[in-house]
Homo-oligomer: A and B are copies of this chain.
């Protein structure tokens, strides 16, 4: 299973954001492009792929929204469609219990889980990878069958988060010499792995 988690430090956690101003909602536009690039391919979805979005902006952080490519239905790849799904999920999150995860539409789940908690849980079951300019070249790097790629949005990963994931044994990988948008990185990772499966 290919899993990704995007840490969005400013992405809104209440549904009162404006679909006409996604950058103003803590860069939800970037979150949406990332989800789109992770899950969608030409005329299909990547069924072997899951993406988790950790939102930590106002008004009720943290929120974790998970998109499971194997179950997803009725979601289109454009920013506004994905933002609408996020908004709907946040509307369903008002009365979530502490450990509850609610399925809000096929393949879309929301919970109050923190970024740190999800990463810790996953570290017991799969390889942790994070993107870093000084990491091992992706073309040389070994990927295990089940992995979780950890990355930040335009703010990147805070120092203490980097320390946490290093303690958990995460492997640093570099995807190239130029600092790309978060939304570009999964395209390159998928491409590398698709080539290996040829």
Contact = CB atoms under 8 A, between A and B. Distances in A.
Copies of this chain held together in the complex? 2
Interface string A140-166: 000000000000001000000000000
A79 interface: yes
A180 B42 contact: yes
A78 B180 contact: no
A190 to B, nearest CB: 8
Interface residues of A, number: 37
Contacts of A177: 194-195, 197-198
B187 A41 contact: no
Interface string A93-110: 000000000000000000
A78 B23 contact: yes
A197 B187 CA distance: 20
A78 B36 CA distance: 13
A139 to B, nearest CB: 9
A78 B41 contact: no
Interface string A171-195: 0000111111101100110110011
Given A76-B23, A78-B23, A80-B22, A43 B180 contact: no
Contacts of A190: 178
Main SS of chain A's interface residues?
loop
Interface in A21-56: 22-23, 29-30, 33, 36-37, 40-43
B20 A80 contact: yes
A77 interface: yes
A178 B193 CA distance: 11
A37 B181 CA distance: 9
A72 interface: no
Contact of A43 (B80, B179, B184): B179
Interface of A: 19-20, 22-23, 29-30, 33, 36-37, 40-43, 76-81, 154, 175-181, 183-184, 187-188, 190-191, 194-195, 197-198
